[in-house]
Amino acid sequence: MPQPVPQAVVLRLPRYYRCLRELLNNDVLLVKSKELAEMMGITASQVRSDFNYFGDFGRQGYGYNVRNLYKNINAILGITDEYSAVIIGAGELGTVLAGDSMFMRRGVILRGIFDTDEEIIGREIAPDLIVRDITEFEKFCKSKKIDIAVLTKFPEYAEKLIRCGISGIWNFTGVALRNTGDATIQDIYLGDTLMTLCYNMKRNEREK
């Protein structure tokens, strides 16, 4: 039985993923835990203990095979699984996200974008992505299997999304959602990170 993975370790996985991609881009094929630790800003023993949760990927003294590590972390993160997603809300934030390549790079395929505003319905806001009327959402979901909803507006819509079979909500509305099913909800509170920045600035200032 594998051990349950602490959320703190889970939160570090995307950073490992980024560091490893950078190494691959620079044609580095072997990496020691110490080197990876430096890139990550953590200790080498932390790197080794993190990897233990996912089975041992390295050989003592030789370092880790970057390509294998990258592949394994991809699989753990579910990047190889191809999820499909829709964006709810075609305002400025929805438009920014619709044009971002991060979905594709992480194996998430954007299938549609929805809004209530008749002014923008029908508009192509990204290549092959035309804004649809939100009232068509239910029918749309029945014909295509959609896993993820990126909620940029209309938090009151979450319940309906879950009823339509959405299993993950990436929530940018700043409103805490009521999880009426067993969906996975990832809340993004950008303001939180602004506060963390201010706090760390203040601490830096004091330590000078």
- The residues of the shown chain that bind a copy of itself, judged by CB under 8 A, are 8, 10-11, 13-15, 17-18, 76-79, 81, 83, 92-93, 95-96, 99-100, 102-103, 105-108, 147-148, 167-168, 170, 182, 184, 186, 188-202, 204-205, 208
CB 91 within 8 A of CB 123: no
CB 82 within 8 A of CB 146: no
Q: How far is the CB of 61 from a copy of itself (least distance, A)?
A: 29
Alpha helices for the chain (secondary structure H): 7-25, 33-40, 44-52, 66-77, 92-98, 102-105, 137-143, 158-163, 190-207
Of 29 and 201, which CB lies nearer to a copy of itself in the complex structure? 201
Of 11 and 61, which CB lies nearer to a copy of itself in the complex structure? 11
Length of the chain in terms of residues written: 208
Q: How far is the CB of 176 from a copy of itself (least distance, A)?
A: 8
Of 52 and 186, which CB lies nearer to a copy of itself in the complex structure? 186
Of 135 and 200, which CB lies nearer to a copy of itself in the complex structure? 200
For 162, phi then psi, to 5°, come to: -65, -40
Separation of alpha carbons 147 and 108, rounded Å: 9
Of 139 and 178, which CB lies nearer to a copy of itself in the complex structure? 178
Q: How far is the CB of 54 from a copy of itself (least distance, A)?
A: 11
For 171, phi then psi, to 5°, come to: -100, 110
Q: How far is the CB of 197 from a copy of itself (least distance, A)?
A: 4
Q: How far is the CB of 199 from a copy of itself (least distance, A)?
A: 5
Q: Which structure tokens are listed for 21?
A: 């991609």
